[in-house]
Copies of this chain bind each other. A is one copy, B any other.
Amino acid sequence: MNTALLVLSGGQDSTTCLYWALDRFGAGNVATVTFDYGQRHRIELDCAARVAALAGVPHTVLPIDTFAALGGNALTDAAVAVQPGVEAHTQLPNTFVPGRNLIFLTFAAALAYQRAIHHLVTGVTQTDYSGYPDCREATLRALEQAIRLGMDYDLTVHAPLMFKSKAESVKLARDLGALPALAYSHTCYNGQQPPCGVCPACELRAKGFAEAGIPDPLVERFRNVAP
C-alpha cells in the first residue's frame, strides 16, 4: 500500500517533487498519476512514464476528455497557437486552462481515496507561476479543504516547491538525486526534444539552471548525441 500519490506531468517541477516524495515518504511508498487530457504534446505522457520508470514507482494514467470538449486554449486546442504575453480579456497567458490544476488534484484525490492514500504531492509553485492562479498556495489550501469536506477524508496536499525559485528547485533536485531523471523530463511549450530553447518555458528552465550553476541534464543529453 502506498502512502503518497504524486501528480506527475513529466516536467521539471513534478519530476523534482517525485524525488522529494521518495525522500519524505520512502521508496516503495510513492505512486504517480498522470492525466491524459488531450495535451497538444503527447511527449509529456512519454516523459512522465519514463521518469516514473526511472524512479521505480507505480504509474497510473487517467484520461480526461473534458478540457478538449471545452476547447479554447493553446494547450489542448490545436486551433489556438501559443502566444507570448497575456490575453486582453483575462490578463492570463493563453496557455491557461481554467481550473486545470483544480481538476487534476480532485481526480488525484479520488484515486487516493480509493487506494486509502492520505498524501497528495504536486509540483505547482507560485514563485515562477507565470500568472496561473491555480498554482498559488491560497488556491491549494482552499481546494484541500473542499476535498477534505467533499470526500469526508483526511487528505494533505503537499507542494514542496511552492515558494522556491527555479534556481532553488534545481539545487534541491541535485541534492535529492533527481538530476538523472531530469534528463528525461519535458518542459518545452513547443513540444520539442531537444527543447526549442526559446519558448517561455524553456527560457525559465534555462535561467533556473544557470542561476544554480548546474548544467541542465536534458540539454547535456542532447549535446552528447552526435548530430
Least Cβ–Cβ distance between A153 and chain B, in angstroms: 8
Q: How far is the CA of A169 from the CA of B65 in the complex (A)?
A: 34
Per-residue CB contact flags for chain A residues 143-183 toward chain B (1 = under 8 Å, else 0) read 10111011111000000000000000000000000000000
In the complex, the chain B residue whose C-beta lies closest to that of A148 is: B142
Q: How far is the CA of A217 from the CA of B136 in the complex (A)?
A: 48
In the complex, the chain B residue whose C-beta lies closest to that of A108 is: B99
B69, B101, B149, B152: the one contacting A62 at CB < 8 Å is B69
A193 within 8 A of B: no
Q: Do B147 and A111 have beta carbons less than 8 Å apart?
A: no
Least Cβ–Cβ distance between A17 and chain B, in angstroms: 19
Q: How far is the CA of A109 from the CA of B153 in the complex (A)?
A: 24
B65, B106, B134, B146: the one contacting A151 at CB < 8 Å is B134
Q: Do A70 and B110 have beta carbons less than 8 Å apart?
A: yes
Q: How far is the CA of A65 from the CA of B66 in the complex (A)?
A: 8
Q: Do A151 and B110 have beta carbons less than 8 Å apart?
A: no
Which A99-123 residues sit within 8 Å CB-CB of chain B?
99, 101-103, 106-107, 109-111, 113-114
A133 within 8 A of B: yes
Q: How far is the CA of A19 from the CA of B37 in the complex (A)?
A: 34
Q: Do A64 and B65 have beta carbons less than 8 Å apart?
A: yes
Q: Do A142 and B149 have beta carbons less than 8 Å apart?
A: yes
In the complex, the chain B residue whose C-beta lies closest to that of A134 is: B150
A215 within 8 A of B: no
Which A21-60 residues sit within 8 Å CB-CB of chain B?
none
Chain B residues lying within 8 Å of A106, measured Cβ to Cβ, are 99, 102-103, 106
Chain B residues lying within 8 Å of A136, measured Cβ to Cβ, are 149
Chain B residues lying within 8 Å of A65, measured Cβ to Cβ, are 63-65
A200 within 8 A of B: no
Can you list 7 A-B contacts (CB < 8 A)? A63-B66, A97-B110, A102-B150, A103-B110, A133-B152, A138-B149, A146-B146
The 7 closest A-B pairs by CB, nearest first: A133-B152, A142-B146, A134-B150, A143-B146, A139-B149, A98-B110, A99-B110
